[in-house]
Amino acid sequence: MLTPTSHAEAAGWPAVAFPGGAIIPDWGAVTTPRAQDALRAIVEAFIGPKWDGLDETESRIHGIVLSGYAASGHAPATADVAAAAGLTRDEADGVLRRMAGRDLLVLDAAGQISGAYPFTDGQTEHHVDARGLTVGAMCAIDALGIGAMLERDVAIRSACRQCARPLTIRTRRYGRELDQVEPSGIAVWSGHRYAAGCAASSLCTVQAFFCDDAHLETWRANSPAARQEGVRLSLAEALEVGVAIFAPMRMEWPSWIPTT
């Protein structure tokens, strides 16, 4: 059962409530029908079914893991998560496994954290630079949401999924608006494929940047996964979707997270 925000309930816009008061997503951040369609698909396929109903411990661990990424650019070790949460190592392991089942984070074969949306330590096309901190992002939408989550202007370094041309996106207003974009015609495909209970290996693979619309259409014509349902977004629309998902998570973080 999804928990709608009060302003979205009448429109039927789904959202989930985290302990502590964060409501994800912020539907007020998306202003066009295409952005709304893309966001609804992500929430209904992934965020709503998997993230709804977190308990206090899971929410606290979630904040600690994101804080670790925000502080270092990499996932914190399980021992550090346990110490920060006041849990034993075994207790922390159990909570992390539950969270992986909820697809809030990704564990590697050794049970260590290797990703927590929007961040990843794995191989990725997308890297985000924020005042000396460099983090990997799971997908194009995640990369665009990191600035608002960290409340920092960022530089996103990625590549066209079709031709591998380098792409650079800089933001302003604490990650909420586009600033400098190179090349100028960047488009985003927001696919709807969610499978095997893991967005990192399904949904994130079809959230991608393209240097222009022609290369997006070429990729779609030649990629079986891309022929499935999805939404073509302008870069500004994709930024709105990223902000809508990840900016509310800032509310969950402890006050000591660095923002300068």
Q: Which of 35-44, 47-56, 174-183, 249-258 has the lowest mean pLDDT?
A: 249-258
Which element (helix H / strand E) includes 51? helix 48-51
Q: Which CATH class is domain 126-247?
A: alpha beta
Average pLDDT over residues 227-244: 94
- The HSE-up count of residue 153 (CA atoms within 13 Å, CB side) is 9
Given this model, what pLDDT does residue 21 score? 86
Given this model, what pLDDT does residue 251 score? 45
The percentage of the chain sitting over the pLDDT mark of 70, rounded to a whole number, equals: 91
* Burial of 209 from C-beta contacts in 10 A (0-12 / 13-18 / 19+): buried
Q: In this structure, what DSSP letter does residue 11 have?
A: T
Given this model, what pLDDT does residue 11 score? 54
Q: Is 234 helix (H, G, I), strand (E, B) or coil?
A: strand
Backbone angles phi, psi at 201, to 5 degrees: -100, 5
Backbone angles phi, psi at 203, to 5 degrees: -55, -45
Instruction: Give the residue extent of every domain in the chain.
Output: 6-51, 65-118, 126-247
pLDDT band at 214 (very low <50, low <70, confident <90, very high): very high
Average pLDDT over residues 58-75: 94
Answer whether 155's CB lies under 8 Å from 128's CB: yes
Instruction: Say if residue 61's pLDDT is above 80.
Output: yes
